Amino acid sequence: MKVIVPVKRVPDTAGEKNIDPNDKTVDRESVESVLCPINEFSIEEAVRLKENHGAEVRVLLMGPESAQPIVRKALSYGLDSAVQITDDTLAGSDAIGTARAIAKALEGEEFDLVIFGNQATDSRTSIVPAAVAEILGLPSLTYARHLEVDGDKVVVHREHEEGYDVVEATLPAIVSVVEAINDPRYPSFKGIMAAKSKPLDVKSAADVGIDTGAVGQANALAVLTEFEQRPPKEAGTIVEDDGSGAAAAQLADWMQSRKFI
């Protein structure tokens, strides 16, 4: 079995994010970049398939050369190899442009299963996995909280507000997982050292046949036209209850003024 795990370099979720006023995209140089935390859950599922089914697992990342440490971090969990798509024409791609690029990259790879995280912490659109499946004409199993592979079939428990549905598809297929699916392990020291020498193929957009007229900021369907910095925090309003009932009216007025009621 061959499994591919797409991962993403994102700004540290605990860091202060800023918008670059020049191109109105996230300023990724102003904050430390990390492996998307949600990718740790998709990586863990891939590692379990490697342990239980002998799967060969490959990392896929679309990003600049400076994202290579993120690829190595993903490999340190015990994955086998990686491919990094690096090209200036991909910068500023929106969710659909990203899906187009990843789908084209996957066309040049052998795989039975592609395991995404259900979203990235810097955008949270949850669009890319399903869009990739649509472009490739493959089954899309989203919001998986449990994953099993049985022969040529994959079965997931698809999470929703009222519980979960059991969904089955024939391989090859695209799956996106939620955080409830597992408890990710930490990379071992041995894994960290081994990751430094594992195979990493770096390819350009042309190498994998990406149509540069369909990706990048210039071809994005979602465009940020205006933004403002978040205002500084202000002191809160304190309502003291003196037993007269005035506090309840004051609280109701405050909530109404902010359209909570």
Q: What is the pLDDT of residues 201-256, one digit of tens each?
A: 999 999 999 999 999 999 999 888 888 888 888 888 888 888 888 899 999 998 99
- What pLDDT, in 10s, does the model give residues 15-48? 887 888 888 888 887 889 999 999 999 999 999 9
**Cβ 36 vs Cβ 121: under 8 Å:** yes
Alpha-carbon gap, residue 90 to 63, rounded angstroms: 8
* In the block, residue with structure tokens 């199993």: 141
Global pTM reads 0.87
Structure tokens at 59: 């990392």
CA atoms within 13 A on the CB side of 186: 2
Other beta carbons less than 10 A from residue 182's beta carbon: 19
Indicate the SS3 state at residue 96: helix
Other beta carbons less than 10 A from residue 199's beta carbon: 10
- Residue 77: name the closest of 14, 1, 5, 8 by CA: 5
> Could you tell me the domains of the chain?
2-219 (3.40.50.620)
